[in-house]
C-alpha cells in the first residue's frame, strides 16, 4: 500500500487535500475530485499521480493521516496528567473527531469509499493507524499480545464512534460522547472479566493457552511494558 508522502511531497499533498475538500461533498473521493484537486493545486496530472499513485484512494488516505498527525500534535501540547487512562483515550478520540468536524461530509464520503470491498483493507489500515497514533501519543509502551489487542480494541471503539458521530444531530455531539463512554465501559467490563478469570483458581487453567500464545507474540517495538493490558 502507498505510504504517506515524504517531506518533499508533503506540501503538494496538503495543497491537494485542501483543494479536494471543496469537491468531495459533491463528487466524493472520486477520480473527478482527484483531477480537480490536482488542477486547483497547480499540479500537472503526472505530478499528482506520482505523488498519489492510486488517485482518489491515496488522497482520502492522505486526508485521514493528516487528521492523525494534527491530533498527535495537539495531544503533545496538552497536560493530561491526573487523568485516568480510559479518560485520556476518550479525550483523544473526541479530539480526533473535533478536528475534522468542519469536514464531516468528507469523513462520511471516506467511510463510504472504504466500505467498498476493494478498499476495505485501506479502511482497516486507516483505523489501525489512528488507534496506534492514540496509544503511542499517550505513552503506551506495551508489548506482546497487549500491543495488538489494545489497538484492535480501540480500532473497534473508534470505528463505531465515527459511524455514530456521522449520524448524530445532538447539540455539541453530546450523544456521540455518551456513546463513546459506553463503548469504553464495555471494554472495561470485558477486561475486568479476563482479570477475574486469571485470578480464579477454577478458571485460571482456561487462560493458560491464551497466555502462552501472548508470550510468543511480540510487538514491533521491544520497549518494556509499563502499562497493564486493560485500560486504567
Report the first-to-last Cα separation within the chain, whole angstroms.
34
Give the pLDDT confidence of 81-105 residue by residue, as tens digits.
999 988 999 999 999 999 999 999 9
Give the 3-state DSSP-derived string for 74-89, with helices as H, strands as E and coil as C: HHHCCCCCCCCHHHHH
Length of the chain: 232
The torsion of the CA quartet 195, 200, 204, 205, rounded to 10 degrees, works out to: -160
Name, in order, each residue with C-beta under 8 angstroms of 158's C-beta and a sequence gap of 6 or more: 93, 96, 127, 130, 131, 134
Where is average pLDDT lowest: 6-10, 98-102, 125-129, 225-229? 225-229
User: Any long-range contacts for 120-123 (C-beta under 8 Å, 24+ apart)?
Assistant: 121/1, 122/1, 122/57, 122/61
What pLDDT shows up at residue 191?
53
Mean pLDDT throughout 133-139? 95
Q: 143: pLDDT confidence band, cut at 50, 70 and 90?
A: confident
What pLDDT shows up at residue 225?
39
With 0-12 CB in 10 A as exposed, 13-18 as middle and 19+ as buried, what is 154?
buried
Look up residue 28 and give its DSSP letter: -
Give the pLDDT confidence of 1-36 residue by residue, as tens digits.
444 444 446 799 999 999 999 999 999 999 999 999
Instruction: Please give the CATH number for the structural domain made up of 7-216.
Output: 1.10.357.10
User: Could you state, in order of their start, the residue ranges of all structural domains in the chain?
Assistant: 7-216
What pLDDT shows up at residue 188?
75
Amino acid at each position: 500500500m502507498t505510504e504517506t508522502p515524504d517531506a518533499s511531497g508533503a506540501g503538494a499533498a496538503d495543497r491537494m487535500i485542501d483543494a479536494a475538500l471543496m469537491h468531495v461533498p459533491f463528487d466524493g473521493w472520486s477520480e473527478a475530485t482527484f483531477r480537480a484537486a490536482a488542477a486547483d493545486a497547480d499540479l500537472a496530472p503526472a505530478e499528482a499521480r506520482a505523488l498519489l499513485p492510486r488517485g482518489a484512494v491515496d488522497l482520502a488516505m492522505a486526508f485521514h493521516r493528516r487528521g492523525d498527525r494534527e491530533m498527535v500534535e495537539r495531544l503533545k501540547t496538552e497536560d493530561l496528567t491526573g487523568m485516568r487512562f480510559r479518560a485520556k483515550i476518550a479525550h483523544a478520540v473526541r479530539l480526533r473527531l473535533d478536528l475534522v468536524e468542519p469536514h464531516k461530509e468528507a469523513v462520511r464520503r471516506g467511510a463510504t469509499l472504504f466500505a467498498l470491498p476493494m478498499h476495505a483493507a485501506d479502511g482497516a489500515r486507516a483505523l489501525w493507524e489512528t488507534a496506534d497514533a492514540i496509544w503511542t501519543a499517550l505513552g503506551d509502551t506495551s508489548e506482546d499480545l497487549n500491543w495488538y489487542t489494545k489497538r484492535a480494541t480501540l480500532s473497534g471503539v473508534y470505528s463505531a464512534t465515527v459511524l455514530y458521530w456521522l449520524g448524530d444531530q445532538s447539540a455539541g455531539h453530546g450523544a456521540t460522547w455518551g456513546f463513546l463512554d459506553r463503548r469504553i465501559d464495555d471494554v472495561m467490563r470485558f477486561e475486568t472479566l479476563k482479570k477475574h478469570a486469571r485470578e480464579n483458581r477454577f478458571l485460571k487453567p482456561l487462560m493458560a493457552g491464551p497466555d502462552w500464545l501472548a508470550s510468543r507474540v511480540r510487538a514491533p517495538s521491544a520497549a518494556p511494558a509499563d502499562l497493564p493490558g486493560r485500560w486504567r
